Copies of this chain bind each other. A is one copy, B any other.
Amino acid sequence: MEATWQEQLRAVGLRVTRPRLSVLQVLAERPHADVDTIVTAAREVHPTLSPQAVYGVLQALVTGGLARRIEPAGAPALFELRVGDNHHHLVCRSCGAVADVDCTVGAAPCLTPSDTAGFVVDEAEVVFWGLCRDCRVGKPSETTKVPEHHDRGGVHE
Give A residues with C-beta under 8 Å from B. 62-63, 65, 68-71, 73-74, 77, 83-86, 88, 90, 92, 99-133, 136, 149-157
Contact = CB atoms under 8 A, between A and B. Distances in A.
A99 B70 CA distance: 21
Most buried by B among A77, A150, A153: A153
27 contacts: A73-B77, A83-B152, A99-B119, A101-B114, A102-B115, A103-B157, A104-B109, A104-B113, A104-B114, A107-B157, A109-B109, A112-B155, A113-B128, A116-B128, A116-B130, A118-B136, A119-B128, A121-B129, A122-B129, A122-B131, A123-B130, A123-B156, A124-B126, A125-B126, A125-B127, A125-B128, A127-B127
Contact of A116 (B71, B101, B111): B101
